[in-house]
Structure 1
Amino acid sequence: MFARIQKTAGLALMTMTCATGVAAQDAPTATPEVLLTISGEVDAPEAALTFDRAALMALPVTTIETSTIWTEGTHTFTGVSLADLMDQLGVEDGTLLATAINDYTVEIPVSDAVAGGPIIAYLMDDAEMPVRDKGPLWIIYPYDSSAAFRSEVVYSRSIWQLDRIEVDR
């Protein structure tokens, strides 16, 4: 439990460091864009955690090579595994309400967040995904690794243009 709290505290500190603005005496610079907000019932001192690209990329990296029903051919997707993220947040059960930038929401059971399961992809074929190409974040399952990942239920959970997750336990 203490190790999870340390991870969560480190994650929160990293998130605050990566997503804060500049001091008044500093020269004007761009504030990092928040790509993902996580709220709800998580083991964190903040009401919501925010992640910019650097904060997401600082988490353990997982790569999946798979085809999808929305793209042609096989692609390499890189991101943070949903299992690693839920472990960092101390979430072991419940439902994730994953919402896209257009407010479309899907429910993903936390039980999907397993090793070898879905990732929150921030790269496709080593390139950032623009909004017009399902980015900047896309929940990708390893569809080619098992027939269990090739079902209408799983496809419906593969939300693109993801920008927030609410944990509901």
Structure 2
Amino acid sequence: MLLKTVRCNAPAQGRKQAVRAVVALGLMVLAAVTHAEGLFSPMLTLRMGDQVVTLERERLDAMVQSELQTSTTLQPQIGRWQGVLGRDLLAHLGIPEGVVRPMTMRSWDDYRIDMTTEDFYLWDVLIATRLNGELLGVEDLGPLRVIYPRDQHKALQDSRFDHRWVWLLRSIEVTP
């Protein structure tokens, strides 16, 4: 396993990245010792008010699958990412297409990002389960990763979007 050191100009952001990296490393070690599928169960939880939908890999794989070829800030080479579009997960909660609501995404390493559902309607944001045909493992910062089509849209190559690329995705909560 190769660990890459990332330098950033903002000290607080650098500390947060370092903490996330240590937690992710701990999860990788734990996953190597236990069965990773059982560790991440349910794989994804969707919430809106009292409505809760839990999804295991089988249910995610049974949904309409999409593919996106793009690089990431952590992987500059272009990868072929597969998974479910974020807007399809919102539809699974019964949210009508284009309705913008506050949303929070959380990861297994306790990262949290507050945003709106708008990104899922503006772009083909993917909740990836696979990279180049292979299931995402913890070593790939999976089993689920939020992937934006950054190579297709210059606006997404702005660092303001980098914090929205959630890895180790655990839940999406939409405010009713």
Give the TM-score, by structure 1 length: 0.74
Q: How big is the alpha-carbon RMSD for the aligned residues of Structure 1 and Structure 2?
A: 2.0
Q: Is the 8 A contact 2:48 2:93 kept in 1?
A: no
Alignment match, 1:60: 64
Q: Is the 8 A contact 1:38 1:49 kept in 2?
A: yes
Q: 2 CA distance for matches of 1:90 and 1:148?
A: 29
Q: 1 CA distance for matches of 2:94 and 2:76?
A: 36
Alignment match, 1:37: 45
Q: Residue 57 and residue 66 in structure 1: after superposition, are their counterparts in 2 closer, same or farther (change >3 A)?
A: same
Q: 2 CA distance for matches of 1:115 and 1:62?
A: 16
Letter in 2 for 1:103: D
Q: 2 CA distance for matches of 1:114 and 1:58?
A: 22
1:116 CA drift (Å): 4.2
List 4+ stretches of structure 1 deviating above 6 A. Answer: none
Give the TM-score, by structure 2 length: 0.71
Q: Is the 8 A contact 1:33 1:53 kept in 2?
A: no
Alignment match, 1:136: 143
Q: Residue 62 and residue 116 in structure 1: after superposition, are their counterparts in 2 closer, same or farther (change >3 A)?
A: farther
Letter in 2 for 1:132: E
Q: 2 CA distance for matches of 1:151 and 1:107?
A: 18
Q: 2 CA distance for matches of 1:145 and 1:139?
A: 16
**Any gaps of 5 or more consecutive residues in structure 2?**
1-36
Match for residue 78 of structure 2 among 74, 79, 94:
74
Alignment match, 1:49: 53
Between structures 1 and 2, the one with greater strand share: 1
Q: 1:18-29 counterparts in 2 under 5 A?
A: none
Q: Secondary structure of the equivalent of 1:55?
A: helix
Match for residue 164 of structure 1 among 132, 155, 171:
171
Q: Secondary structure of the equivalent of 1:120?
A: strand
Q: 1 CA distance for matches of 2:131 and 2:69?
A: 10
Q: 1 CA distance for matches of 2:122 and 2:163?
A: 20
1:132 CA drift (Å): 2.6
Match for residue 116 of structure 2 among 109, 132, 138:
109
Letter in 1 for 2:46: I
Aligned residues: 136
Letter in 1 for 2:54: T
